Each structure stands twice: as C-alpha cells, then as structure tokens.
Structure 1
Amino acid sequence: MNLPNKLTLLRVIMIPFFLVFMLTDLMGENGKYIALTIFALASFTDFLDGYIARKQHLVTNFGKFMDPLADKLLVCSTLIAFIQMNKISSVIVIIIVSRELIISGFRVIAADNGVVLAASYWGKFKTASQMVMIILLILDIQTPAFALLENIFIYLALILTIVSLIDYLIKNLSVLSERSNK
C-alpha cells in the first residue's frame, strides 16, 4: 500500500476519534480543541494524499475509490454530529448529504462507462465553505458576531452545495443517457 493510500486510511481512522472528542465531555472544554485539531489534520491528509499521488504518479484504483469516500465520511459524520449538538438544522444536513450521494452515484455510473468526471470550481468552493463552516461550528465561540459568522457560512455552504449540484448535473447529465459498455 502506497503512502497516499495510507494517508486516506488514516483519515478514515481519525473519524471515530474526532467524534469521541466532539460528542463527549471526555476532555471537558479542551475536547472541542482536540476535535478541531483532529479534523484539521484529517482535512490536511486529504490535500496531502492527493498531492503526493499526483506528484509521484501513485494514483491507484483504491485511492480513486477511497479518497472521496473518506472525505464524505469525514464531512457527513461531522454534520450529523452537529445535528445531535443542535448546531445545524437537519434539513441543511440532508441537502448536503443528498448532494454528496447524488454526485457519488453519477461518478459510479460514469466510471462504469469509462468516463472520468472532474471536480468543478463550484465543487471546490463548496468544499472550502463547508470546511470553514465546520471549523467555526467546532470552535463555537459564544459572541453575537461569531454566531453571525457561523450562520453566514452555514448558508453559504448550503447555497454552494445546491449551485455545485446543479452545475454538476447540467455538465454531466449525458452520463445517464450513455449506454453501458457491458
């Protein structure tokens, strides 16, 4: 197993530890800072594994499958934890998770037809806004200005989720009409 794939697996392994510190009082107030550190490190492994895989030509089928799955597991589990913590509306989380499932489905169909669907800039903006939103919600600084900033990023992430889904569907709708090569 190459280094990028090990980093991807490390990201998946970090998720339960992140959730323990997010959802319990195991470390008191410090738990959220430990959770934030784990989330930041897990997010960094996403950048790092992709960079190394491309730079050193270590792209594998395992990595193509597991890397996006690891990202979705990290983000979706975090958002679901936020519902339990009353930090975000379940409707918003359902929309975000639904978008991820729809895109994953499209990618499976495209891959089955030998088509690679590249990420768009809208998808990259969506991901960046979600990461900032998650960091803000983990920090949860109790001031009116910070609460406003959290809400701005929650709705920005929601809007970019919808826009990136629409963009993706418009650009890739032909994938659904293509015949399978089987």
Structure 2
Amino acid sequence: MVEAVLNKRIILTNINIPNILAFIRLFIAPIMFMFLVNRDLFANIHPSWLDFLAAFLFVFASLTDFFDGYIARKFNQITQLGKILDPLADKMLTLAGFLGLMMLDRANPWAIYLILTREFFITGLRVAAVSENKEISASFLGKIKTITQMFAIGFLIMNWPGGTLLLWLAVFITLYSGYEYIKEYLK
C-alpha cells in the first residue's frame, strides 16, 4: 500500500509542463522525419509543402525546447526525469532533422557524423553525471550550439541559401562546446 502511494507520488512529481513539452518533442521528431524521407507516401503533395510541414514541426518542437527549460527554471519544476528526458528529446529531434537532410542529400554526411557523434557522447556523459549526482548544466556556448544547429536544420529543410555554411558553423561550435562539457565533467 505504501509502495503504491509512493509510486503514484513519483509519477505525479514527474508530470509537469516541462516534461510534457519534452514528450511532445519526442512525438514530433518521427513525424517530421517521415515528411522528410517518406515522400512517396505523399505523392499528391508537392515536395516544397512537405519541406514546409517538416520545417513547421521542427520550429514548433524547437520552441517547446525553449519553453520547457524556461518553465522548469522559472517555476522550479526541474525533475530527475526532466534532466534526462530534455536532452534526449533534443537529440531525437536533431537526429531526425539531420538524418532526414542527409537522406535528401542536403547535408554533408561528415558534418552530420561529427555532430551526432558529439551529441550522443555528451548526452551519455550528462546522463552519467546525473546518475552520479553531478550537475553539468548547459553552458552558454551549448545554447549557442543548439541555436546554430536549429537554424542550420531549418535552412536546410527549406533549402535556403546559407544552410550549408550554417551547418559547418554548427559543426565547429558543436565540437568546441563538446570539449567544454568534457572539461566540466572532469573537474
């Protein structure tokens, strides 16, 4: 009986707006990916509309990333689940975007490889830090990295000029911010 009450309390503690927003990102990522890579399912829709739908979903999901962090900090709704779920949802979204763009031949495979390798390595490092009760919060450069990646993905989805330049800028910032995270973890 006591265990059931405790389990219910743990579940209710983790159900908050920031975590719901992170779950929304997890849900949107495969739908956006589908619009990018399963164009044959939408034969009656012009590819530019599929790009627009994918870009809209990406921008919406990116906004949930901003708001979940803001709400969690502002209203003290930071949870252990959120500390793991938020970066995971971010990586699922960027993975969907970057892999979809690579499959559309709009993004250089080496750029995608370097970004995704760093992302998964640092996500694993952050999860390990949380399990050791260490705090590795996002640095200012980490936030710049995220914004640069989001702009690169958005530009590349819409096939706008400058997307490739933004992608390589994102590679550089991503790798350098990864170095900063490793330095912070080792302290």
Is the TM value for this pair above 0.5? yes
- Structure 2 counterpart of 1:127, from 146, 152, 166: 146
Structure 1 residue 95, shift from structure 2 partner = 0.9
Find out whether 1:170 has 2:187 as its counterpart.
Answer: no
Find out whether 1:52 has 2:65 as its counterpart.
Answer: no
Tell me which residue corresponds to 1:117: 136
Tell me which residue corresponds to 1:160: 173
Aligned positions of 1:1-182 closer than 5 A: 1-25=15-39, 26=42, 27-28=45-46, 29-141=48-160, 146=161, 149-174=162-187
Structure 1 residue 107, shift from structure 2 partner = 1.5
Does the C-alpha gap of structure 1 residues 30 and 155 become closer, same or farther in structure 2, counting only changes over 3 Å?
Answer: same
Structure 1 residue 158, shift from structure 2 partner = 0.8
1:93-129 CA deviation, whole Å, 9 max, x = no partner? 1111111122122223322322101211221111111
Q: Compute the TM-score of the two structures, normalised by the length of structure 1.
A: 0.86
Unaligned 5+ runs, structure 1:
175-182
How many residues align? The count is 168
Aligned residue for 1:57, secondary structure, equals coil
Unaligned 5+ runs, structure 2:
1-14
Tell me which residue corresponds to 1:178: none
Q: Percent identity?
A: 33
- Give the whole-Å Cα distance in 2 for the aligned partners of 1:76 and 1:122: 20
Letter in 1 for 2:159: D
**RMSD of aligned alpha carbons:** 1.4
Letter in 2 for 1:152: L
- Give the whole-Å Cα distance in 2 for the aligned partners of 1:170 and 1:16: 33
Structure 1 residue 172, shift from structure 2 partner = 2.4
